[in-house]
Amino acid sequence: MIGRSMRIVAHIDMDAFFAAVEERDTPRFGGLPLAVGADPEGGKGRGVVSTANYKAREYGIHSAMPISTAWRLSEAARRQGKPPVLFLSVDMKKYAEVSQRVMAIIRGFAPVVEEAGIDEAYADLSFAGSYEKTEAVCRDIKQAIRDRERLTASVGIGPNKLIAKIASNEKKPDGLTVVREQEAEAFLEPLPVRKIPGIGPKTEAELAKQGVRLVRDLKRFSREELQEWFGKRGAEFYEMIRGQDDTPIQENYEPKSIGEEETFDQDTLDAIFIGDRLKDLCQEVMQRLSAEGFRQFRTVVVKARFADFETHTRTHTLPQPADSVAALELETWKLLLPFLDRRENPKRKPIRLIGVRVEKLQ
């Protein structure tokens, strides 16, 4: 391979996310065990724990545990003279808002960010050029999250998403773990197979029957054997336990779009009038964009309907996201103009409606 530049990926995962947000917002919770989730109803509650802070985890409480079990563990702790667990309901709206702000912080440091969940993201930091510099960038990201949100995150740095994800979980909370490309295989070997994405409790039990507990043990099997055993997944396991993963970091665009259109009082081809209306539409679209929590768009769509209702749309995707009314006006005008002249309107039909829409919102 010639000239293939090194890939460096970071995985950022917030610590005890829902619980940490609640602790931050209610200082009197500080230092106490918290569980966010269903109402325990004095031990009769039927839902589950969404997350527990680290104090409550010391009692054995964790995500997805029945809330009634968490209640029993809390009562047991109380009998030993420890503080009982504070049970809080889920405030999803609040966590989603914090999540958006954290993602925006991360985006300030990395050109490509994939939001992998409400409290986790992959960032492509290849541009840093070295693991040392990547580590410095990640310390800055952690510090920015701490300064601006008063929350901690744990970060894993590696040659791909697989290694970065496993690494971020190694030193929680507030951790930072760097696994260089040449260390990746050795890093995985002593870990339980369960740490490999795709190996859940069922596969774990199946492997245990064959005496396979650690990644190291699983490496005894050839690719063919794993394929025979697990089908297509087997081949993936073979790659993953050797630290290999080439899945790309993918920006997640909201499939959402925001658009406005206007039907004129009179059909027209007056460029000044149409330009004016277009300007207003662009302003309205940008106002809605920010009102709905977005800052940027990448795709611009215009619609033109002639007096006889013949309707056309034209789309343009920008190489980089844009965030200004001016940019939207320019791009939409470029798309609309041909409908005012012979290029797209050879019969010079008057226009009855125009529309502006933005997509690929961020």
> Is residue 13 a contact residue for ligand TTP (CB under 6 A)?
yes
Residue 247: CB minimum distance to ligand TTP, A: 20
- Kindly state the number of chain residues that form the binding site for ligand TTP, as judged by CB under 6 A: 15
Q: Tell me, residue by residue from 107 to 126, as one string, x for binding to Mg ion by CB under 5 A and - for no binding.
A: ------------x-------
Q: Which does 177 bind (CB under 5 to 8 A by kind): Mg ion, ligand TTP, none?
A: none
> Is residue 50 a contact residue for ligand TTP (CB under 6 A)?
yes
Please identify which residue in 15, 22, 124, 236 interacts with ligand TTP, judged by CB under 6 A: 15
Q: Which is closer to Mg ion, CB of 17 or CB of 294?
A: 17
Residue 250: CB minimum distance to ligand TTP, A: 20
Residue 110: CB minimum distance to ligand TTP, A: 19
Amino acid sitting at position 219: K
Q: Which is closer to ligand TTP, CB of 92 or CB of 326?
A: 92
120 among known catalytic residues: yes
> Is residue 98 a contact residue for ligand TTP (CB under 6 A)?
no
Q: Which is closer to ligand TTP, CB of 9 or CB of 67?
A: 67
> Is residue 118 a contact residue for ligand TTP (CB under 6 A)?
yes
* Residues engaged in binding ligand TTP (CB under 6 A): 13-18, 50-51, 63-64, 118-120, 172-173
Question: Binding residues for Mg ion, per CB under 5 A?
Answer: 13-14, 17, 119
Residues with catalytic function = 120
